[in-house]
Amino acid sequence: MPTLRVIYYSADRDAASWVPGLQAALPGASVQLWEPGAPPADYAVVWKPPQQLLDEQTQLKALFNTGAGVDALMNLRLPVGVPLIRLDDAGMSVQMAEYVCHAIIRYFREFEGYAVDMGHGQWSFRKPRSRLDFPVGILGLGVLGERVAKAVAQFDFPVNGWSQSPKSIAGVQSFHGAAQLGSFLAASRFLVCLLPLTPDTENLLNADRLAQLRPGGYVINVARGAHVVDADLIAALDRGHLAGATLDVFRVEPLPSEHPFWVHPKITLTPHTSARTLRSESIAQIAFKIGALVRGDAVAGCVDPVRGY
């Protein structure tokens, strides 16, 4: 049997450790860093590849994305009939649950205010808030959204979830489809975005939608920057309809130094780190799936090119 050929390319992820890692996980294969003109491979493992890679590699049996979101690939001309397989959790859902619970609890329990008070030598209490006044709405109940919804429900917050299809998740009120988005927003005060970026979800969080959230709303965006209309978010914060936002993702990354988010007093920022791609978990998942495909078995995480996620 000819040696299986695997190529790896990443616009910003460490090839020096991924290539040997993939090679160790696929001992019978030949794993190479992709370069223009590289010989044809059977499988490509990529993050934000150039169009040239896809155009040149005409014999691929599958394309693996080393992230959960495939929006960057969806902007390219993809090889027809070649399965596109994304990361399916691979250690990201627990990180996402930590990040979102932390952001919610930090705001709900007013820990930032306490830190300021204590920094001024002030021993003072704030009135306890009721969780019932802070229902959490999660946009997207997929691999990450479901784990986050369950984690938030563990803290006894009322939890609403919005997805394309209806869901049945203990402790989560399910809303689905465009027709139920308004009722979902009106029932939520925290709003967590965990949607894939597609033509249907781009700019979803605009002035109209943000205005439908309960007054004193709080937005947590951990999906993609283009889900949010930046100027509309700032306007909703400035007029007081929203109380704050925690943002991990941005239209342009790194966030340009002149962007108003940097200095907005109601916005907390992190540098696209809410759920990192974990190298060893991801390599193990991809190697397992390559083995399954070679045997002719089905694998999870195949992207539907029509839905775009």
User: What is Dmax (Cα atoms) for the chain?
Assistant: 73
Is 224 a catalytic site residue? yes
Give 49 or 67: the residue with its C-beta nearer to ligand NDP: 67
Cβ 277 to ligand OXD shortest distance, Å: 5
Q: How far is the CB of 137 from ligand OXD (least distance, A)?
A: 21
Question: Nearest Cα to 129, choosing from 153, 105, 152?
Answer: 105
Strand order in the sheet with 190-193: 172-176, 159-163, 136-139, 190-193, 217-221, 242-247, 267-269
Whole-number Å distance between alpha carbons of 112 and 94: 24
Q: Which of 176, 251, 264, 272 is catalytic?
A: 272
Residues that bind ligand NDP (CB under 6 A): 68-69, 92, 140-145, 162-165, 194-198, 200-201, 222-224, 248-249, 272, 274-275, 309
Q: Give yes or no for residue 10 binding ligand OXD (CB under 6 A).
A: no
Give the C-alpha separation, 53 to 65, whole Å: 13
Residue 67 beta carbon to ligand OXD: minimum distance, rounded to whole angstroms: 3
Q: How far apart are the first and last CA of the chain?
A: 34
67 makes contact with ligand OXD (CB under 6 A) = yes
| Smallest distance from ligand OXD to CB 68, Å | 4
277 binds ligand OXD per the rule CB under 6 A: yes
Would you give the binding string for ligand OXD spanning residues 153-192, x where CB under 6 A is met? ----------------------------------------
Asked if 190 contacts 137 with a C-beta cutoff of 8 angstroms, the reply is yes
Shorter beta-carbon distance to ligand NDP: residue 57 or 65 = 65
- Scanning the chain, the segments in alpha helix (DSSP H) are 15-25, 51-56, 71-74, 92-108, 111-119, 143-153, 181-186, 207-212, 230-238, 279-295
Stretch that binds ligand OXD, among 23-31, 61-69, 174-182, 236-244 (CB under 6 A): 61-69
Out of 26, 29, 68, 73, the only residue in the binding site for ligand OXD (CB under 6 A) is: 68
3-state class of 176 per DSSP? strand
